[in-house]
Amino acid sequence: MRRSSAQQLEGMSLTVKSEQHGHSSVRLQGMRRAIANQMAKSHAEIPGVHIIDEVDVSGLPLSRLLPVIVTATSCIIRKYSHLNAHFDGEELTTFDYCNVGIAVDTDDGLVVPVIRSANEKSVVEIAQDIDDLALRAREKALTPTDMKNATITVTSPGKRGGIIATPLINPPQTAIIGVHRAFERPTVHEGSIQVRKIANVTTTFDHRVIDGAEAGDFTIELVHQIEATVRHLANR
C-alpha cells in the first residue's frame, strides 16, 4: 500500500535552513513615542467616520492647495461649531476662533504646528504662516507654543501618492480635514466634457458628538468654498 505524504514524513528529522540573519529593535522614544501614544488613543477611543468628496482645483498651483484648504475651512467652520471643538469624553468645548493644525512631515516624524486665528487671515497670510511653520518644523526650531491649542487639523497626504487616505483625528479635537492627490481627468464642466484637475477631500469626524448630516453639510460647503477661492485667485 502506498504511504501517504504525512506517513512518509512521519519520524523523519527535517532541518530547515534559514536565510535570515539578525534583526534590530528600537524602543520608541521622544517624538516617535508621543506620536504612537496619540494615534493609539485616537484609534481606540474615537469612532471616526469619513466623508469623501471631490473638488475642482483646475488652474491652482499645487503648492497653493494647502493654504486654500485651510482658508476655506476657517471661513465656514463657525457655522459648524461641533467640528471646531474639543471633546474629552464627557464635555464638548466649542470655539469662536479657528486655530488650524497643519500636519508637517519631518525626519523625526509628523508634527502639527498651529496657524492661530486662521479665520481672521487671508489666503496669502495663511500661505506665509504655513511656509514659516513648515521650515521651522524641519529645522527643529518650533516652540511648545507653536504646537498647542489647535481646534481642527488639516493634513495633505496627497503628495505622497494614493488617491485617498483616511486620517486619524488628533484628540481632543473632533475633526480632521484631508486633501489628497489632485490629478487631471475628464469630467463634465459647464455642460461639456473637459479635462479638469480634481482632488479628493475628506472630512473625518468624531461620531460621538457630530452627526453625519452636519458633517455632510460641512463637506459640501467646504467644496464650494474651495472652488470659489480657486476662482477668485485665478481672476486676480
Active site residues: 207
DSSP conformational letter for 126: H
Query: Could you give the CA distance from residue 110 to residue 181 in angstroms, rounded to a whole number?
Result: 19
Residue 188, phi-psi category: left (phi > 0), alpha (psi -120 to 50), beta (remainder): beta
C-alpha cell at 194: 473637459
Residue 101 contacts residue 150 (beta carbons within 8 Å): yes
Contacts of 137 (CB under 8 A, 6+ apart): 104, 106, 111, 113
Look up cell 460641512; give the residue.
218
Sort strands 109-111 and 104-106 into parallel, antiparallel or unpaired.
Answer: antiparallel
Residue 213's alpha-carbon distances to 54, 65, 89, in angstroms, are: 18, 26, 21
